[in-house]
Amino acid sequence: MIAKTQEDIAALRESGRILSAVVAQLAAMVAPGVTTAKLDLKAEELIRAAGAVPAFLNYKPSGARYPYPAALCISVNDEVVHGIPKEESVLKEGDIVSLDLGLSYKGYFTDHCKTVFVGKGDAQGQKLLDGTREALSAAIAAATVGGHVGDIGAAVAAVAKRYGLSVVEELGGHALGKSVHERPFIANYGNPGEGEKLSEGLVLALEPILAEGKGRIDLADDEWTYVTRDHSRAAHFEQTIILTKKGPEIVTPFL
Ligand code: MF3
Ligand code: CO
């Protein structure tokens, strides 16, 4: 959507703040022995307690065989995105886990993800997390009114290259606001000055998804979870922003 009024902007800020606080609380619960189902239950509970609605639960994009069955997408190690929470999926020390969550509040959708270690991580994994986080801040810095979609992708790809990480090219960011996924798609690679123009008020979810290995992915048998083909680990950071003349405003503040 294009946020046009002060009401739009105020509601997006509220929506994003609620979401970001929930993700922060989930991240604080991540520990060895915790099941991914428990984190999902908590996510839904916190969202509803805030008067918001989970955006992913029962979401069915065209092409999906069945609706997404949970509030939270939780992807562990070689799982890239859209991992489904499960009672039998128990987090263990050293795992890399992404917590990807969306909600709507007063009809305004925001989308947010962070990736954390379970307990203590390894040096290579730390590089994956640092590089992906830095790619997100580069993406946000590149999202300026009057710029182009390709500026964002180019910024992500440059950081990935510097860290020796690869971009998962099939996945990327998107506009949102009145629904969870709106056009345009924001690839995590591209050329500066190319692609659609970025206009004032545009609401975007920017989300670099990077892998330690080659970045090729397969869809698992559950038809939701994407897994790296070489089983290398992946990371994902995502924030919702509003493009303003003064620069990008981040509405999901707690990364
Ligand atoms: N967070 C994902 C994204 O950024 C959306 C997950 S949608 C669901 O695009 F289908 F998995 F629910
Ligand atoms: Co998103």
Cα 247 to middle of ligand 1, angstroms: 26
Is 40 touching ligand 1 by the criterion CB < 6 Å?
Answer: no
Residues 200-228: tens digit of each pLDDT:
999 999 999 999 999 999 999 999 999 99
CA of 101, nearest ligand number: 1
Strand partners, 99: 74, 114
Atom of ligand 1 nearest to the CA of 56: 12
Q: What is the distance between the alpha carbons of residues 238 and 219, in angstroms, rounded to a whole number?
A: 21
**Average predicted confidence (pLDDT) for the chain:** 98
* Residue among 180, 203, 209 to mutate when testing ligand 1 (max atoms within 8 A of CB): 180
Is 109 touching ligand 1 by the criterion CB < 6 Å?
Answer: no
Residues 98-124: tens digit of each pLDDT:
999 999 999 999 999 999 999 999 999
Domains and CATH numbers, the chain: 6-250 (3.90.230.10)
Of 140, 112, 143, 84, the residue nearest 236 (C-alpha): 112
* Residue among 26, 53, 176, 181 to mutate when testing ligand 1 (max atoms within 8 A of CB): 181
pLDDT value, residue 72: 99
Q: What is the distance between the alpha carbons of residues 223 and 243, in angstroms, rounded to a whole number?
A: 34
Q: How many residues does the chain have?
A: 255
Q: What is the distance between the alpha carbons of residues 34 and 122, in angstroms, rounded to a whole number?
A: 20
Residues 23-69: tens digit of each pLDDT:
999 999 999 999 999 999 999 999 999 999 999 999 999 999 999 99
221: left (phi over 0), alpha (psi -120 to 50) or beta: alpha
DSSP string for 104-123:
EETTEEEEEEEEEESSS--H
